[in-house]
Structure 1
Amino acid sequence: MEFQCVHTKDGAPIFHFGPFPVGTNNIGEFLGIVEGLKYLQKENKLEMPLYTDSQTAISWVRKKKVSTNLERNEQTQKLWEMIDNAILWLENNTYKNPILKWETTKYGDSKADFGRKR
């Protein structure tokens, strides 16, 4: 699993993490949102929207917790560190950026996807 953030206009990369040996799409989407919020806060772009095609990840961000069956083990240790840090960041920070559902049926696959959907 890996995740990235790109500009919606042209697909220019903003950041990229991974690949991780084990993970899920929703975890990647969740971490992408939180890393995106951190980036936008740092860049003082406090009202710029973030898009994801995962309603689950949006829900996790709003609840400030993830609901996953991903085991905590040596293979997932780095990923769980990132998840725990993301939750901690959400608990200790506020943001105004709208988190919006990317409508794949309207716009096609997100430019942040890696072109691997079947």
Structure 2
Amino acid sequence: SELSEAQLKKIGRPNYNSISVDAASSGNPGIMEYRGVDTKSKKQLFKQGPFAQGTNNLGEFLALVHGLSFLKKHDSDRIIYTDSRTAISWVRKKTCNSKLERNAKNKPVYDLVDRAVQWLKENEYETTIVKWETKAWGEIPADFGRK
């Protein structure tokens, strides 16, 4: 569904004082990876994976927490964009509600998830998390381009 001129105007342009995070999973569950990039230049700032088994939601969650910890470590005032409402809600609740059952194949992913949840519980952060407006701006700059 296309946005009207008025809607586009109201949404405005992305804030380029930001980083963008995204995940890709081939199959659900399937091989999963995630990364964070500078929103303006698309320069890759971090990347994890590919992991043998994960889901898009797990990847989006890990990408968002990795981004928060990256910005905190660099004492950055940048905002962070994600196109995942699920990841935003899991981060707010400091939890991960994945339905994927833990097994040997996805242990590396769940080890990172456990660390991410622990990080959220132990750290304060000032970073503003913003939903990327895909309909207005196109795919998020961190997108893996596999659609």
Coarse TM-score class (shorter-chain normalised): over 0.9
Structure 2: where are the runs of 5+ without partners?
A: 1-31
CA distance in 2, matches of 1:39, 1:66: 20
Structure 1: where are the runs of 5+ without partners?
A: none
Q: Deviation per CA, 1:19-41: give whole Å up to 9, x if none.
A: 01111111111101111111111
Q: 1 or 2, which has the higher helix percentage?
A: 1
Q: Which residue of 1 is the match for residue 60 of structure 2? A: 29
Equivalent of 1:19 in 50, 63, 67? 50
Q: CA deviation at 1:99?
A: 0.5
Q: 1 or 2, which has the higher strand percentage?
A: 2
* Aligned AA (2:61): F
Q: Map residues 84-99 of structure 1 onto 2, 5 A cutoff.
A: 84-99=114-129
Q: CA deviation at 1:16?
A: 0.4
Runs of 4+ residues deviating >3 angstroms:
none
TM-score normalized by the length of structure 1: 0.96
Q: Deviation per CA, 1:86-117: give whole Å up to 9, x if none.
A: 00000000111001100100110011110012
Q: How many residues align?
A: 116
Q: Which residue of 1 is the match for residue 131 of structure 2? A: 101
2:12 is the alignment partner of 1:7:
no
CA distance in 1, matches of 2:137, 2:57: 20
* Aligned AA (1:110): I
Q: Percent identity?
A: 49
TM-score normalized by the length of structure 2: 0.77
